[in-house]
Structure 1
Amino acid sequence: MNDRTVVYSTYYNPMEANIIKAKLEDSGFACFLADENVATLNPLYNQAIGGVKLIVFERDVEAINALLIEDNSLNFDPSEEIIDEEKSGDDKTVCARCGSTNVGYGMATNKKYSIWAIIIAFLTLSTPIKANKCHHCYDCGYEFE
């Protein structure tokens, strides 16, 4: 009998890992999570440790694949629903340089701080507080308002 364990998948969200683990345990599969405590106590280490690892027996991998493919409720991505609520319709932002719709809105990378934020930070011997935000194209790297 093959009692070898393998890392079935990794998750950067401990909640998602626990949901999958509970689903597998309810279906009768033996499994456990590795590095869950580190990722929960200090989320900044999550990238360094490689995320929360779901460990299963090698003999169960095919049955687990079939179970998870069959269960469509695990394909739920809450970030997609939030995006859909914010953007009703087809008014997606398009990159002015390359025409891509792979665009996000967030903190600027090139001109992160305004001149006033830099001056005030210099005078108070602290770091700048207010950062600029803009649209960022993930395909060509162009930043625009």
Structure 2
Amino acid sequence: MSDKIIVYNAFYNPIEANIVKAKLKDAGIPCFLTDENVATINPLFNQAIGGVKLNVFEKDVAQISALLADDLELEVPEMDVEKEADKVTCENCGSTNVSYGLATKNKHSWWVAVLSILMAIYPFKANKCYHCYKCGHEFN
């Protein structure tokens, strides 16, 4: 192995890149970040520049992979399984991929539409309902 510097990983979140950099520094592995300032100042350029790049020596890649693999195993939280009784199911297809929010089809009632046209204002009240993301059905 040589002392060649390579890009080990690219991050679209500068904070995440700095956390990984700090872990490597604590383990005594030399590393540095590039394009961090551009990504921090204007996050819209992040994809164009390829994110914040973590640069390391090629000889340290195996040690870094082992260190970060151990950390990933510890940091990944287990998903809480929702109780079946708390889930709302779609009346149309029976799917549980349902959420409560603003209606998309009948967003405003007729009296709100008439009143907003007469007063030349944006409708001030919107209907809420459950929306199924599988079939698109809306219900209360």
Given the two structures, how large is their TM-score scaled by the length of structure 1? 0.56
In structure 2, distance between residues paired with 1:51 and 1:25? 20
CA distance in 2 between partners of 1:48 and 1:135 (Å): 36
1:3 maps to: 4
Superposed CA RMSD: 4.1
Once the two structures are TM-superposed, the CA of residue 19 in structure 1 deviates from its matched residue by 0.5
* Separation in structure 2 between the aligned mates of residue 26 and residue 93 of structure 1, nearest angstrom: 47
Residue aligning to 1:46: 46
Question: Is 1:99 aligned to 2:95, yes or no?
Answer: yes
Please say which structure displays the higher CA radius of gyration: 2
Long gaps (5+) in structure 1: 125-131
Query: What is the aligned residue count?
Result: 125
Give, in whole Å, the separation in 2 of the partners of 1:107 and 1:43: 30
Output the CA distance in 2 between the equivalents of 1:15 and 1:22: 11
Residue 89 in structure 1 maps to residue 85 in structure 2: no
The verdict on how the C-alpha distance between 1:60 and 1:42 changes in structure 2, with shifts beyond 3 A counting, is: same
Show the counterpart of 1:128.
none
Structure 2: tracts of 5 or more residues without a match:
122-126
- Give yes or no for contact 1:135–1:144 (8 Å, CA) kept in 2: yes
Shift of 1:89: 3.5
Q: How many Å separate the matches in 2 of 1:34 and 1:70?
A: 25
SS at match of 2:9: strand
1:56 to 2:56 alignment: yes
How far apart, in 2, do the equivalents of 1:48 and 1:107 lie?
35
Show the counterpart of 1:16: 16
CA offsets 1:51-78 (integer angstroms, 9 cap, x no match): 212121221111111111222444369x
Distance (Å, rounded) in 2 between the aligned partners of 1:35 and 1:26: 22
Change (3 A) 1:143 1:69: farther
User: How has the CA–CA distance of structure 1 residues 93 and 28 changed in structure 2, closer, same or farther, with 3 Å as cutoff?
Assistant: farther
Q: How does 1:71-90 map to 2 (within 5 A)?
A: 71=71, 72-75=73-76, 89-90=82-83
TM-score by length of 2: 0.57
Q: Distance in 1 between matches of 2:101 and 2:10?
A: 26
